Amino acid sequence: MSAVPRTSPAPTGRSSRTGTTGAVLHATRAELSKILTLPGVWIVTGIILALDVLVMSASAGLYAEAVANITPDGIIEIFIGEPQAATVAVLDMLVASSLQIGVFLPIPAAVIAGQEFRSHQLGLSVLAVPRRGRLLAAKVLATTAYLLVVAVLIAGISTAFTYAAVRDWNPGLLLTGDAFLGQGRFVVFAVLFSLTGFAITVIARSTLIGIAVTVVLLALTMMRSPARTGPGLDAFLPAGAGRNLLLDAGANHLSAGPVHGLLVLVGWALATTLIAGITLGRRDAR
């Protein structure tokens, strides 16, 4: 151990930014550092992406065969006994492929949020950024940026596998506006749904509870029992809203339209983040 060197008396350049914007910028960069240096985040993200590749690989052969058998009048039979217009079906399949893995994104979101409640890191985070609203804003911004990248990667993987299947039939299909719109909607869903899981983890102060509540929200939609839950309830659940936002109403039984779905997802993300902000602000940082 040795004597303490002093820092420069007047910070310069980027570190001299002051005020709320500068403080949020510093805090967001710190939160990004926390995300990118936590092994758990990399492990969970790696597993999700590997699972994506595995699932897409497993179905690639059957999918390519279905594309090869598209009739001259443009009909495809991806699922036996369910003939559909090929263009619509392929684009729907593209988004559904992203969605089936995207529903796991709340897990890294919960790991990111839950790190604060392990080993009392929250205490140090509040020491560094004592304004809790600013701290939460930085966390949300950094988590959104990370989730955005992972969601785009998932969309990229499903696009790559779909391209491999359709390149001999219609290679330009995945560059159409409809294809980009579909994947764009998926990215919006993945980020908003994951932010909901992130906020629930902050409210519950537990990664496991955050994941469990997200799974319950998913299961309520996956079970798809409108007779029990009612079509109205499904439309107001985040995963149900995701289906409504992403999937084609002509080929799927949906409980509401895409705009309704988007508003519900935004509502869940905003409401849970607001509650997370209130609980973070009112409770002691323990």
* Chain positions contacting another protein, by CB under 8 A: 1-8, 11, 14-18, 22-23, 26-27, 29-31, 33-34, 37-40, 115, 118-131, 284-286
Q: Which one, 17 or 253, has the nearer CB to another protein?
A: 17
Closest CB to another protein among residues 28, 84: 28
Write down the least CB distance from residue 41 to another protein, Å. 10
**Euclidean distance between CA atoms 89 and 77, whole angstroms:** 9
Smallest separation (angstroms) from another protein to the CB of 237: 32
**Residue whose CB is less far from another protein, 208 or 259:** 208
Cβ nearer to another protein, comparing 133 with 257: 133
End-to-end CA distance of the chain: 31
Minimum distance of another protein from residue 20's CB (angstroms): 10
To another protein, the closest distance from the beta carbon of 16 in angstroms equals 7
Q: How far is it, in rounded angstroms, from Cα 238 to Cα 138?
A: 24
Whichever of 115 and 214 has its CB closer to another protein, that residue is: 115
Q: CB of 13: closest distance to another protein in angstroms?
A: 9
- Angle, helices 207-222/106-114, rounded to nearest 10 degrees: 160
Q: Considering the complex, what minimum distance in angstroms separates the CB of residue 201 from another protein?
A: 15
Q: Would you say 50 or 124 has its CB closer to another protein?
A: 124
Q: Of 12 and 228, which CB lies nearer to another protein in the complex structure?
A: 12
Residue type, 43: I
Nearest to 203 by CA among 103, 107, 104, 116: 116
CB of 115 to another protein, least distance (A): 5
Q: Which two tokens stand for residue 279?
A: 């609980």
